[in-house]
Amino acid sequence: MEVKGLHHIAIKANDVDQTISFYTNVLNFTVRHEWSIPSFNLKRGVMMKSFDEQSYIEIFDKEANIAAQGRLRMNNEEIVQGSILHMAFTVKDAEAIYNKAILLGAKSILSPMSVDLGGTPTIIVRNALVEGLNGEIIELLEENDL
């Protein structure tokens, strides 16, 4: 049996339409499929495909009873940290995508910068971090030698 790669990341969205718009306009994802599953109280599920067609983001409405890490956060409560720290997307220009994300409602976590990862050989990466519309942490990572 062979693992072929990571298929998707799932997000519980406060507003499904806004989340679709964000991932469409910032990261060039497209809607691939929509569905509902009443037995899971899932009114709306959406699978969005990446530009390179290699990965997906799955979006669930906030009322869905879907298995998830940790506990639900209360209204206006800070995000409760779990073991998934962030999701990273390969981009051509971290600063341009970062600015677009901020314009469309993301919050800045780390402005675009170059980071020396050290090690042998030394690898320098350019990245930025934003908090998405639903509290998800998104890394914008320029192509590099990793």
**Total length of the chain:** 146
The yes-or-no verdict on residue 39 having pLDDT over 70 is: yes
Q: Is domain 1-65 annotated with CATH 3.10.180.10?
A: yes
Asked if 127 and 139 count as a contact pair (C-beta separation under 8 A), the reply is: yes
Greater model confidence, 23 or 81: 23
Exposed/middle/buried for 71, CB within 10 Å: 0-12, 13-18, 19+? exposed
> Under CATH, domain 82-146 is a member of which superfamily?
2,3-Dihydroxybiphenyl 1,2-Dioxygenase, domain 1 (3.10.180.10)
Domains 1-65 and 82-146 share a fold: yes
The yes-or-no verdict on residue 18 having pLDDT over 90 is: yes
Q: Report, as an integer, the average pLDDT of 37-58.
A: 95
Model pTM greater than 0.85? Answer: yes
Q: Is the peptide bond before 121 cis (omega within 30 degrees of 0)?
A: yes
How is the chain split into domains, by residue range?
1-65, 82-146
Model confidence pLDDT, tens digit, residues 48-81: 999 999 999 999 999 999 887 777 777 777 777 6
